[in-house]
Amino acid sequence: MLIAGASVFAGISSCAFADLDSAMKDLNIDTSVYGFLNGQIESVQADGGATPYSSRGRISDGNSRLGFKGSIEINQYAKGIWQLEGGLNNFENGGVNDQGSSATLESRNSFVGVEDTRFGRVIVGNNDSIYRSLVGSGGEMGGNLGLTVHGLDLWNNTSAQMTGNANSLFSRGEARYKNSVHYLSPEFYGFQAGGSYGFDEAESSGGNRGRYSLAAKYTHGGFEIGVGYDRQGNTGVLTDKVSQGYGFQTGAVNNVDTYFYKVVASYKFPTKTYVGVGYEVGNYGYSQFNPASSSNLYSSTTTGSMKQSSAMISVAQDVREDTSIMLSYGKLGHLDNATFGTPDDYSATQFSVGALYQFNKYLATYVYYTDIKNKSQQNVNLGQSPIYSNNSGTTNAFLAPGDSPRAFGLGLIARF
């Protein structure tokens, strides 16, 4: 009886799988593997602050990655989409960065969702906010396509990168949201818009630090312009860290918010000249404890907002089909309402220059030089391979305020 039952079950299972295989053959299912390895030979240093970083050579990773993505047809308009992307960051150092942490397979953009040609795309997972993906600076207008196309940050995915991180010179509001949902509209007469929301499931600091962003862009021929807004609740400047010499940092601060807004524009001339410009304003909330004193018998807490703007310009010229010369310059302005030091102590400038040569669409080499000038309380750092002059190898690693990094490097990127 058991043998007979097993035979019947096996027969039913075989039929079920056969039907499933037949159904899948009628669907349009696509799966692909992608990524790149990006290595750089560099000479780096940083001086001017309390703990200089002496000149030395190193091998650096340029944001290498491995990804799997695919789509599953639903009907003539819609399809299910998915992506699983991990960082190959710091492959030259066994996968461990200078803060002692390593990437996982899901460390980068990983999501599942639905895309419809009529209504747009909705995804959930761990993904770049719309402030980065639609009007960011790593691609032609958004995303992270550096060294593949000309975008505002011509040196995205290298140490000469100028945007996209909290310690960058420009586009500091860009981020990857965990526990997030994202919507992107279809393109309509050149217009496209979207929104992102990241849930704060932990609320470990006693306040909800949920974050959201909105963005829109318009494309017409070689011209593109985009605007974006990003806001994070219960987030502000860690004023005690600033006064203790750790530099300008933000973190969990209840009852204040931090938000950014920006505009980015670019134009591709018929002469194969690319010009991009960007302007961003950051508003950082803060909460400062005021102890009792002889003039004030009671302690109190003061809340407020600090404001800082930044701007940058990039120019790239394709001198041949396989060769480009690129130059970028940016300035981070003074910090209004600074609680420690003077507003100008928090300003910085950076320029990056170099050339890119494409052997073919899969392999390219490049050379670059970047120079950052930080004022006494600022710690703008190198792009994908930051310098840490203090506590290197720990999660508390940081660049001393006033240290000014610079790097000269030769890179090779292999895409697949």
Each residue's pLDDT tens digit, 203-232: 887 889 999 999 999 999 999 999 999 999
Q: Which domain holds residue 131?
A: 30-415
| pLDDT given at position 260 | 98
CATH number of the domain enclosing 85: 2.40.160.10
Asked whether residue 20 is domain-assigned, the answer is no
The pLDDT of 379-403, averaged and rounded, is 90
How far is Cα 291 from Cα 300, in angstroms, rounded to an integer? 7
Rg (CA), the chain: 24
Is residue 8 assigned to a domain? no
Number of domains the chain contains? 1
Q: What's the whole-model pTM score?
A: 0.88
Per the CB < 8 A criterion, the answer to whether 370 and 352 are in contact is: yes
**pLDDT 10s digits, 341-387:** 999 999 999 999 999 999 999 999 999 999 999 999 999 999 888 99
pLDDT tens digits along 129-155: 999 999 988 777 776 666 888 999 999
274 assigned to some structural domain = yes
Q: Is the Cβ–Cβ distance between 40 and 366 less than 8 Å? A: no
For 49-67, b/e burial (b = at least 16 CB within 10 A) is beeebeeeebebbbbbbbb
Pick left, alpha or beta for residue 310 (phi over 0 → left; psi -120 to 50 → alpha; otherwise beta).
Answer: beta
Reported as a single tens digit per residue, the pLDDT across 5-14 is 444 434 544 5
Any domain includes 149: yes
Does any domain span residue 221? yes
Q: What is the pLDDT of residue 9?
A: 38
Q: 336 Cβ partners below 8 Å, 6+ apart?
A: 306, 307, 308, 343
Confidence of residue 106 (pLDDT cuts 50, 70, 90): low
User: Is 104 part of any domain?
Assistant: yes
Is residue 326 pLDDT above 70, yes or no? yes
Query: 201-215, 270-284, 325-339 — which is least confidently predicted?
Result: 201-215
Q: Band the pLDDT of 99: cuts 50, 70, 90.
A: low
Sign of CA dihedral 48, 52, 56, 58: negative
Whether residue 354 lies inside any domain: the answer is yes
Percentage of the chain beyond pLDDT 90 is 73
- Point out which residues pair with 160 in neighbouring strands: none
- Asked if residue 317 is part of any domain, the answer here is yes
DSSP string spanning 146-211? BTTB--SSTTTTSTT--BSSTTSSB-TT--EEEEEEEEEPPPBTTEEEEEEEE--S--TTSS---E
The answer to whether 67 and 76 have CB atoms below 8 angstroms apart is: no
Which residue matches tokens 């040196």? 155
